[in-house]
């Protein structure tokens, strides 16, 4: 399971893998392809940076909609690219319901 809790002390972050490392582990546990893993990590990074480095645990549907709208209107990406970004974000945020237990 990807831990989306926000850590306040540096000590607690040393004991658990970083968020993107947790994503990589969860993707590998599901036997997704290496390209899918790479794409998901890139989209998750872009999502986090789009929202000024907010932690995904603090975000939800409105932030996903804002990001996808930005991709469509400002970056003018195709529908399939938007779907790929959405899939990556759903993979990440789905862990809130325990969907990503490894």
Q: Find out whether 97 and 24 touch, Cβ atoms under 8 Å.
A: no
In-domain check, residue 2: no
Distance in angstroms (rounded) separating the CA atoms of residues 85 and 39: 8
Instruction: State the pLDDT confidence band at 101, using cuts at 50, 70 and 90.
Output: very low
In a domain, 23, yes or no: yes
Report d(CA 7, CA 78) in Å as an integer: 36
Q: How far is CA 102 from CA 23, 42, 55, 72, in A?
A: 10, 21, 21, 33
Residue 7 has pLDDT above 80, yes or no: no
Q: What is the CATH number of the domain that holds 67?
A: 1.10.150.130
Classify residue 46: in a domain, yes or no. Answer: yes
Tally the domains of the chain: 1
Parent domain of 64: 17-97
Say whether pLDDT at 60 is over 50: yes
Residue pair 3/22 in contact (Cβ under 8 Å)? The answer is yes
What's the pTM value of the predicted model, to 2 decimals? 0.80
């Amino acid at each position: 399971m990807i831990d989306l809790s926000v850590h306040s002390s540096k000590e607690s972050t040393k004991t658990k893998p970083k968020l993107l490392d947790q994503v990589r582990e969860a993707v590998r546990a599901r036997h997704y392809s290496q390209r899918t893993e790479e794409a998901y990590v890139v989209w998750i990074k872009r999502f986090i940076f789009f929202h000024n480095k907010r932690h995904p645990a603090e975000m939800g549907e409105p932030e996903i909609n804002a990001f996808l709208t930005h991709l469509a209107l400002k970056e003018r990406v195709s529908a399939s690219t938007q779907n790929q970004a959405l899939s990556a974000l759903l993979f990440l945020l789905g862990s809130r319901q325990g969907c990503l237990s490894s």
